[in-house]
């Protein structure tokens, strides 16, 4: 069942078809007046004549949270157990969009029939026995294990099928005019003079000076930039999970101890999940161990024999084996001697990019933090011992840095001034080499024009930026600044429109892109129609 839900999640979670629609959506929602009514106490919203229940709202919140939880952990964002407003709003938006499509479906007579629901259930592998036949007892047991009743689950299937139908609503074929317009954009060819200049070469004979008055004035405007970085001290346990080894006997024991979470699947069927859970359990035990000794860490208890490290140092084999004994041989945490598991301290600061994710977690947390994946397979369980906040630098201490930044700012301004001056006087001698370009050239790595752009010193990313700017710019000549250090001068000398052969010679990729664009635009139109015709009331506001 869970695999079926995962397979169909693209229909269960309606994605943002166009970002601008989110703004339209926000403007179309009305607040329910005066707090919760008897009806709204069990609902979070009303879309047309359909209510969004609190139960499905919570379910959608949990689904989104599960999808982003790993990213939050890796980014060092702590979960304090409180609802996350951004996830709440996303769950609300998705559910309202689903209900809007249900309203459209109702109006145009689209629905999920009982036969379609039955066919889906009969053909769901999780509900079939060894002979690939639907087994009602297996079906009911699996629903019960996942805390569903049959009525709710079948209603869920009906909604999923309806969303699938609306996502695949019959689309009119792409018209010839649409094809020509779409293909023309990518095949219009400009012949452009191009020249790439670097700041280093342009300013190589330019010496820029600063005065004490200018330096002090720049510091006054930007003094918040100049400070001593915040400093931190942590105690930690680091585990190299690639060194965790467990034979089948150990994993089967772990499976038996946690059998309820594997949805009646056998040990063999759930082996990969068991291995992943075993590793998570190792991390949880390390975290629990840190929690039991946190007071001793703060007091710098000598019995811990904490070692000082300059880099993150993983547990040695003996310490890791001791942690595994908790699961392999039922070793209790209180029986682990303080000095048996290696503990280290590490000093960090805000300006250490190597430890950026760890520093972010430390900056936002206190005491024992959640386990964090530092590099692939290397996890760290940190305990924050000390934080020294960043401190502003006086003018005297910051003067050298300020002067350096001021000179760089002057160099950037002078670079732009010279570049625009060269462009203004380029008529007589031209800008540079003439290269034929079009919007999708950056993808055509075997073409002559692509290789010419490479020889100028442009990367593929540079090409994307430059081509997009030049093709959309409404003047014949200009400059594309690639960061602060490079400038691409361009001058369009002529333009070539695609001919009949170009328009009819469409690649499979272009045809697919055109079909996707039409589907996307028609779905956007459908959603915009729904927003305009069905009132959306938000009942979440409280008294």
Q: Phi/psi of residue 482, each to 5°?
A: -100, 90
Torsion of CA 90, 93, 99, 102, to 10 degrees: -90
The low-confidence residues of the chain, meaning pLDDT below 70, are 1-41, 70-81, 168-172, 185-186, 328-339, 427-430, 541-543
Helix (H, G, I), strand (E, B) or coil at 207: coil
Domain 45-167 sits in CATH 1.10.4030.10: yes
* Bridge partner residues of 360 (DSSP): none
Range list of H helices, 211-304 = 212-222, 248-257, 271-292, 294-298
Strands in 391-476 per DSSP E: 391-392, 433-437
| Model confidence pLDDT, tens digit, residues 1-52 | 434 444 443 333 333 333 334 434 444 455 554 343 444 568 889 989 889 9
Q: Phi/psi of residue 449, each to 5°?
A: -65, -40
Helix (H, G, I), strand (E, B) or coil at 266: coil
| Per-residue three-class SS string for 77-122 | CCCCCCCCHHHHHHHHHHHHHHHHHHHHHHHHCCCCCHHHHHHHHH
- What is the residue whose two structure tokens read 């702590």? 78
Question: Buried b / exposed e across 346-369, counting CB within 10 Å, b at 16+?
Answer: bebebeeeebebbbebbeebeebb
* DSSP category for residue 134: B
CB neighbour list of residue 70: distance below 8 Å, 6 or more residues apart: none
CA separation for the pair 307, 461 (Å, rounded)? 46
CA separation for the pair 234, 26 (Å, rounded)? 44
| Model confidence pLDDT, tens digit, residues 142-164 | 888 777 888 888 888 888 888 78
pLDDT for the residue 432: 77
DSSP 428-474: TT-SSEEEEE-TTGGG-TTSHHHHHHHHHT--HHHHHHHHHHHHH-S
pLDDT for the residue 10: 37
Element (H, E) at 511: helix 508-533
Angle formed by the axes of helices 508-533 and 176-187, nearest 10°: 120
Helix (H, G, I), strand (E, B) or coil at 164: helix
Structure tokens at 210: 């600063």
Count of CB atoms within 10 A of residue 494's CB?
10
CA separation for the pair 315, 317 (Å, rounded)? 7
SS3 content of the chain, % helix, strand, coil (to 5): 55, 15, 30
- Per domain, the residue ranges of the chain are 45-167, 189-209+396-496, 229-392
* Bridge partner residues of 372 (DSSP): 380
CA separation for the pair 55, 66 (Å, rounded)? 17
CB neighbour list of residue 226: distance below 8 Å, 6 or more residues apart: 219, 392, 393, 398, 401, 402
To the question of pTM greater than 0.85 for the whole model, the response is no
């Amino acid at each position: 069942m869970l695999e079926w839900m995962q397979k169909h999640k693209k229909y269960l979670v309606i994605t943002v078809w166009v970002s601008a629609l989110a703004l339209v959506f926000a403007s179309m929602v009305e607040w329910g007046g005066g707090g919760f009514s008897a009806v709204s106490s069990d609902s979070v919203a009303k879309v047309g004549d359909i209510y969004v229940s609190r139960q499905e709202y919570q379910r959608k919140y949990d689904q989104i949270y599960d999808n982003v939880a790993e990213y939050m952990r890796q980014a060092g964002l702590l979960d304090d157990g409180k609802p996350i407003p951004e996830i709440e709003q996303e769950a609300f938006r998705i559910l309202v969009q689903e209900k809007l499509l249900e309203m459209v479906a109702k109006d145009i007579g689209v629905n999920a029939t009982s036969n379609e629901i039955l066919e889906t259930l009969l053909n769901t592998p999780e509900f079939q026995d060894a002979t690939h036949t639907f087994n009602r007892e297996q079906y009911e047991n699996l629903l019960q294990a996942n805390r569903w009743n049959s009525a709710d689950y079948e209603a869920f299937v009906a909604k999923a099928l309806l969303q699938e139908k609306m996502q695949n609503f019959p689309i009119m074929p792409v018209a010839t005019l649409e094809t020509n317009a779409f293909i023309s954009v990518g095949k219009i060819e400009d012949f452009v003079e191009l020249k790439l200049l670097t700041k280093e070469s342009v300013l190589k004979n330019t010496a820029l000076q600063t005065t004490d008055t200018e330096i002090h004035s720049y510091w006054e405007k930007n003094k918040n930039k100049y400070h001593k970085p915040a400093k931190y001290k942590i105690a930690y346990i680091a585990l190299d999970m690639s060194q965790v080894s467990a034979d089948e006997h150990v994993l089967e024991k772990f499976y038996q101890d946690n059998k309820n979470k594997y949805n009646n699947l056998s040990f063999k069927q759930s082996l990969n999940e068991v291995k992943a859970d075993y590793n998570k359990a190792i991390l949880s035990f390390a975290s629990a161990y840190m929690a039991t000794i946190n007071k001793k860490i703060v007091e710098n208890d000598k019995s811990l024999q904490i070692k000082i490290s300059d880099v993150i140092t993983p547990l040695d084999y003996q310490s890791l084996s001791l942690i595994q004994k908790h699961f392999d041989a039922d070793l209790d945490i209180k029986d682990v001697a303080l000095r048996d598991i290696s503990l280290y301290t590490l000093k960090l600061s805000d300006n250490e990019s190597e430890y950026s994710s760890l520093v972010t977690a430390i900056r936002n947390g206190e005491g024992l933090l959640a386990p964090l994946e530092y590099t692939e397979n290397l996890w760290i369980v940190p305990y924050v011992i000390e934080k020294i906040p960043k401190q502003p630098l006086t003018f005297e201490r910051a003067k050298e840095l300020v002067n350096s930044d001021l000179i760089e700012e002057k160099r950037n301004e002078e670079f732009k001034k010279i570049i625009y001056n060269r462009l203004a006087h380029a008529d007589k001698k031209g800008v540079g080499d003439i290269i034929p370009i079009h919007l999708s050239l950056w993808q055509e790595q075997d073409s002559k024009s692509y290789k010419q752009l490479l020889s100028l010193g442009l990367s593929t990313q540079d090409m994307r930026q430059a081509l997009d700017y030049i093709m959309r710019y409404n003047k014949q000549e200009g400059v594309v600044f690639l960061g602060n250090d490079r400038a691409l001068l361009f001058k369009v000398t002529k333009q070539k429109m695609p001919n009949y052969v170009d328009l009819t010679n469409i690649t499979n990729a272009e045809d697919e892109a055109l079909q996707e664009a039409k589907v996307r635009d028609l779905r956007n139109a459908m959603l915009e129609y729904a927003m305009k015709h069905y009132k959306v009331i938000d009942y979440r506001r409280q008294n």
